[in-house]
Structure 1
Amino acid sequence: MARRINLLAAALVAALAVGCTPTGAPAEADSAAATPAADTPRAVATLAEAFLTPMTPADNIDSPASWQAPDGATWLIATAKATDKLVVYDGSSGKHLRDVGSSGTALGQFDRPNGISVTDDLLWIVERDNHRVQVLSLPDFTPLAVFGAQDLRKPYGLWVDKRADGYSVYVTDSWDNGEDAAGKDILPPLPELDKRVRQYRVTRDGAKLEATLAASIGDTSEAGALRVVESIWGDPANDRLLIAEEDESYASEFKVYTLAGRFTGTTFGRDVFKAQAEGVMLRTCGKDGWWITTEQGKQRSVFHLFDRHTLKPVGAFQGNTVANTDGIWMMQQPTPRFPHGALYAVHDDQGVVAFDWQAIAKQLSLPLECGA
Structure 2
Amino acid sequence: MSKLVLSSVAAAVCLVGCTSPAPRALPPAPIAIAAPSMVVPERYVSPESPRDELDSLATWPAEDGRTWLIATAKSTHLLVVFDADTGERLRSIGRKGQAPGEFLRPNGVAIHGNHLFVAERDNHRVQVLSLPDFTPLGTFGSDRLRSPYGLWIHESAPGEYEVYVTDSFMQGEHHDVVPPLDQLDRRVRRYRIAFDDDGTRFNARDEGAFGDTGESSALRIVESIAGDPAQQRLLVADEFTSTEGLRRGSNLREYTFDGKPTGRELPAGTFEAQAEGVALWSCTPDTGYWVAADQRYPQTHFLLFDRDTLAPRGSFRGEVTAHTDGIALHAATTATFPAGALFAVHDDKAVAAFDLGEVARVLALDPDCTR
Q: How does 1:300-319 map to 2 (within 5 A)?
A: 300-319=299-318
Match of residue 256 from structure 1 = 254
After superposition, the C-alpha distances for 1:301-334 in whole angstroms (9 at most, x for unaligned) are 0000000010010000000000000000000111
Secondary structure at 2:345 match in 1: strand
After superposition, the C-alpha distances for 1:185-234 in whole angstroms (9 at most, x for unaligned) are 11111111010000000011234210000121111112331000000000
Secondary structure at 1:193 match in 2: helix
Distance 1:259 1:17, change over 3 A: closer
RMSD across aligned C-alpha pairs, in angstroms? 2.0
Match of residue 352 from structure 1 = 351
Distance 1:334 1:246, change over 3 A: same
Match of residue 3 from structure 1 = none
Match of residue 295 from structure 2 = 296
Distance apart, 1:282 and its partner CA: 0.3
After superposition, the C-alpha distances for 1:215-273 in whole angstroms (9 at most, x for unaligned) are 21111112331000000000111011000010022421100000000000101153221
Establish whether residue 272 from structure 1 lines up as the match of residue 263 from structure 2. no
Distance apart, 1:16 and its partner CA: 6.9
Match of residue 210 from structure 1 = 203
Quote the Cα distance in structure 1 between the aligned partners of 2:145 and 2:10: 28
Quote the Cα distance in structure 2 between the aligned partners of 1:172 and 1:30: 27
Contact 1:227-1:247 within 8 A present in 2 as well = yes
Distance apart, 1:174 and its partner CA: 0.5
Contact 1:74-1:91 within 8 A present in 2 as well = yes
Quote the Cα distance in structure 2 between the aligned partners of 1:326 and 1:65: 13
Of 120, 134, 154, the match for 1:161: 154
Distance apart, 1:42 and its partner CA: 2.0
Quote the Cα distance in structure 1 between the aligned partners of 2:259 and 2:329: 24
Quote the Cα distance in structure 2 between the aligned partners of 1:138 and 1:199: 23
Match of residue 179 from structure 2 = 188
Distance apart, 1:27 and its partner CA: 7.3
Give the alignment's TM-score, normalised by structure 2: 0.89
Distance apart, 1:30 and its partner CA: 4.8
Distance apart, 1:15 and its partner CA: 9.0
Q: How does 1:74-223 map to 2 (within 5 A)?
A: 74-165=67-158, 166-179=160-173, 185-206=176-197, 207-223=200-216
Amino acid at match of 1:276: Q
Match of residue 18 from structure 2 = none
Quote the Cα distance in structure 2 between the aligned partners of 1:15 and 1:172: 18
Distance apart, 1:73 and its partner CA: 0.6
Quote the Cα distance in structure 2 between the aligned partners of 1:356 and 1:111: 33
- How many residues align structurally? 346
Quote the Cα distance in structure 1 between the aligned partners of 2:262 and 2:31: 15
Amino acid at match of 2:51: A
Distance apart, 1:163 and its partner CA: 2.0
Q: Percent identity?
A: 48
Match of residue 61 from structure 1 = 54
Distance apart, 1:120 and its partner CA: 0.2
Distance apart, 1:178 and its partner CA: 1.8
Which range is displaced more, 255-264 or 241-250? 241-250
Quote the Cα distance in structure 2 between the aligned partners of 1:14 and 1:69: 13
Quote the Cα distance in structure 2 between the aligned partners of 1:71 and 1:105: 31
Amino acid at match of 1:171: V
Establish whether residue 44 from structure 1 lines up as the match of residue 37 from structure 2. yes
Contact 2:339-2:369 within 8 A present in 1 as well = no
Contact 1:35-1:271 within 8 A present in 2 as well = no
Distance 1:14 1:79, change over 3 A: closer
Establish whether residue 282 from structure 1 lines up as the match of residue 280 from structure 2. yes
Contact 1:279-1:328 within 8 A present in 2 as well = yes
Contact 1:28-1:310 within 8 A present in 2 as well = no
Match of residue 22 from structure 1 = none
Distance apart, 1:48 and its partner CA: 0.6
Contact 1:17-1:333 within 8 A present in 2 as well = no
Quote the Cα distance in structure 2 between the aligned partners of 1:14 and 1:224: 31
Contact 1:35-1:272 within 8 A present in 2 as well = no
Amino acid at match of 1:178: G
Match of residue 322 from structure 1 = 321
Of 220, 224, 227, the match for 1:231: 224
Which range is displaced more, 55-64 or 268-277? 268-277
Which range is displaced more, 359-368 or 263-272? 263-272
Distance 1:234 1:15, change over 3 A: closer
Distance apart, 1:80 and its partner CA: 0.3
Match of residue 336 from structure 2 = 337
Structure 1 gap ranges (5+): 1-12, 19-25
Amino acid at match of 1:240: R
Establish whether residue 367 from structure 1 lines up as the match of residue 360 from structure 2. no
Contact 2:12-2:112 within 8 A present in 1 as well = no
Distance 1:16 1:154, change over 3 A: closer
Contact 2:282-2:369 within 8 A present in 1 as well = no
Secondary structure at 2:367 match in 1: coil
Structure 2 gap ranges (5+): 1-7, 14-22, 243-247
Distance 1:132 1:27, change over 3 A: closer
Secondary structure at 2:185 match in 1: coil
Quote the Cα distance in structure 2 between the aligned partners of 1:27 and 1:194: 24
Contact 1:78-1:116 within 8 A present in 2 as well = yes
Quote the Cα distance in structure 1 between the aligned partners of 2:24 and 2:260: 18
Quote the Cα distance in structure 2 between the aligned partners of 1:371 and 1:354: 16
Give the alignment's TM-score, normalised by structure 1: 0.89
Distance 1:259 1:185, change over 3 A: same
